[in-house]
Every structure is written in structure tokens, then in C-alpha cells.
Amino acid sequence: MIETIKQHLTEVESFTANTPEEVEQFRIKYLGKKGVLNEFFAAFKEVPNEQKKEFGQVVNQLKSAAQQKVQHLKDQLDSNQEQQGVYGDLSRPGEPLEIGSRHPISIVKNEIIQIFANIGFNVSEGPEIEDDWHNFSALNLPEYHPARDMQDTFFIQTDPDVLLRTHTSSVQVRYMENNTPPIRTISPGRVFRNEAISSRSHCIFHQVEGLYIDKNVSFADLKQTLLYFTEELFGNSRIRLRPSYFPFTEPSAEVDIYWGLETETDYRITKGTGWLEIMGCGMVDPNVLRNCNIDPEVYSGFAFGMGIERIAMLLYQIGDIRKFYENDMRFLEQFKSTI
């Protein structure tokens, strides 16, 4: 009888199944109430005493092997069925994917770049850590010039001649040093100023500055370029230029766009005037051209600069500049549908 049990043990170890029904039949055959194992247990009392120990060990071994085989086959079939369910059904809905979005600053920056690219402006970039020459002196701001106080600067402590750039005009200086006119470029980038953080100002912000150098460039060319830009970005070509002062341009002007007075928000953001300042501009000072090895007797040009955050706040009616830097998903998710 022990040999018979060992034959069953060999059969159990070699058994395979392709369907749950085959596994169930196997289970009933060995582990059911009328199964093989119960027959062997019932025959235990007829086994001679000297064989009972070996008989019991072999029967228990057969029982353990049968239980393990049943569990293994069930797990194997369940795994195959799950894999087939995931990869075999082509009509099964796909996994939902979270749609990302660009940051509102990137959206506005890219739109500005595209507008100026349409009229021949290329993009130039430069380092955020600058030297005094490119950030100040070459732009008609020599040492101790009072206009330097207009920009509270972060200086590198180990070297007073090295600083975090306060405007992307430094990129324009580098571009003029390495290129000959005609020059038509815009310089987007991050800038730094030691200012108190509030709803309207931040120590880190982004600018886009433009530069056009060629023969016979006039203020009329500057105005026409700005009209084109405001109409493309805001759908509004009604602007005004107010006299202003910048050390690197002469004459200089602030550019306002007519925003209107249709809503209470319009009254609030324009202080009841309907006009909003969006950028500064002017004709490039001859001293700046000389500092960059461009002859001001032959060439002239204009420059302009705007804060991307300010433009984004106007376009999206955002009342607090700090929202751009807090990484609040509730704020950023509002731009999901924007490419």
C-alpha cells in the first residue's frame, strides 16, 4: 500500500491543468470527502503496526503535496487570467492620465517670443550671474552713477564686481559685442532685485527686452513695433507714450495701453483712468553703442523692456504676483487647457 501512495505522490507532482475545472477535479480526487486521501486514512487501522509510522508519513506527504499543487495551479491560472484581462481586451478603457500644463509665465513668454519672431526678431540669452560692465557700465551707468540706485542689486559677497543681473539688458550688451548690425533680437530671462516681496513686487521676476539696431532707425519705427505688439497680444492698438528716463535710452518713454473702464476690476487695476503701464522703451543712447563698438554716426536703434509677470497678471486677471512662485496646484491647474 505504501508503494501505491508513492505512485500517487509522483502523479500529484507531475500534474498540470489549463482550466479551473481541471484543478477542481484534481482537488476532489485527492482532497474531497470520497477522495484518495480519505481512503488511505480509513485504511490506516489495517496497516501492520511496524508499518504505521512510515505509512502515516507518506500519507501526510501526499496530502501536503496535493494541497500545495492545488494552490499553485489556482494562483497560476488567476495570474494568467488577470494578464489577459489587462492586455488582451483592446476595448478596455485606458488608464486616465493627468494632463500637465505650462506655467503661466512660460505661456506668456512663449507668446511674446512668437509675436516678435513673426517680424524677424531672434532670441538671445545670457548668464544670470553677471559682471558690473555688462549689467551697468556698458549701459551708460558708470560707477557711482545715481541711476544705479533705481535698481537694488544682489552682489556676490566674495567679489563686488559680480552680481545677479538686474535686467536682461546685459544680454543685449553681450549680443552687440559679438554681432554686427543689423541687429534685431529679444532677450527673455529671469532677473533679480533686492526688493520687498508683496502682492505687486518680488525679488525674482522675468523680463523680455527687445533691441533693434540698423541704419536710419527712428522713434517712428519703435512706435509702429509697439503698436503691432499690443494689437497681437492684447487685441488693442490704442497706446500712449509718456516721457520718462532710462540711462541707456534717449529719448525714453513709458508705454501705456488703454484697458478700458467696463468693469469694477478695470476701475481697480487702472485706478480709474482706463490706462495701464506695460513697458519702458526708447532710442538707444549713443554712448551704449560706442561701448559695444558700434558707430552711432552710422547706426541708430531702439530698445524696449517689459515684465512678463505684469503682462500675465493683466491677461489672466491675477491679483497677486506671489502666486506665480508658490507652486499651488489649485492655481496652476487652471492653465491645463492652455498650450
Q: What is the mean pLDDT of each run of 10 residues along the chain (339 residues)?
A: 72 78 80 75 72 74 80 77 59 72 90 95 94 90 70 76 90 94 95 82 90 96 95 87 92 91 79 88 95 95 94 84 86 72
Give pLDDT, residue 17. 79
Residues paired with residue 188 on neighbouring β-strands, in sequence order = 208
Give pLDDT, residue 85. 55
Q: CA-based diameter of the chain, in Å? A: 124
* Cα–Cα distances in angstroms (integers) from residue 30 to residues 58, 234, 317, in the given order: 14, 82, 76
Cα 220 from Cα 239, distance rounded (Å): 14
Print burial letters for 89-100: b (CB count within 10 Å at least 16), e (below 16).
Answer: eeeeeeeeeeee
Burial class (CB in 10 A: 0-12, 13-18, 19+), 195: middle
Element (H, E) at 235: none
Give pLDDT, residue 84. 55
Cα 170 from Cα 248, distance rounded (Å): 11
* Cα–Cα distances in angstroms (integers) from residue 140 to residues 4, 137, 198, 300, 319, in the given order: 106, 6, 30, 16, 35
**Sheet with strand 204-214: strands edge to edge:** 122-123, 183-192, 204-214, 300-307, 275-284, 249-258, 239-246
Contact 209, 191 (CB under 8 A): no
Residue 320: CA count within 13 A, CB half-sphere: 9
Give pLDDT, residue 331. 86
Cα 286 from Cα 275, distance rounded (Å): 31
Cα 115 from Cα 229, distance rounded (Å): 7
Q: For cell 487652471, what's the residue?
A: 334
Give pLDDT, residue 169. 92
Q: Where are the beta strands (DSSP E) in 61-203?
A: 122-123, 129-131, 162-164, 183-192
Give pLDDT, residue 129. 92
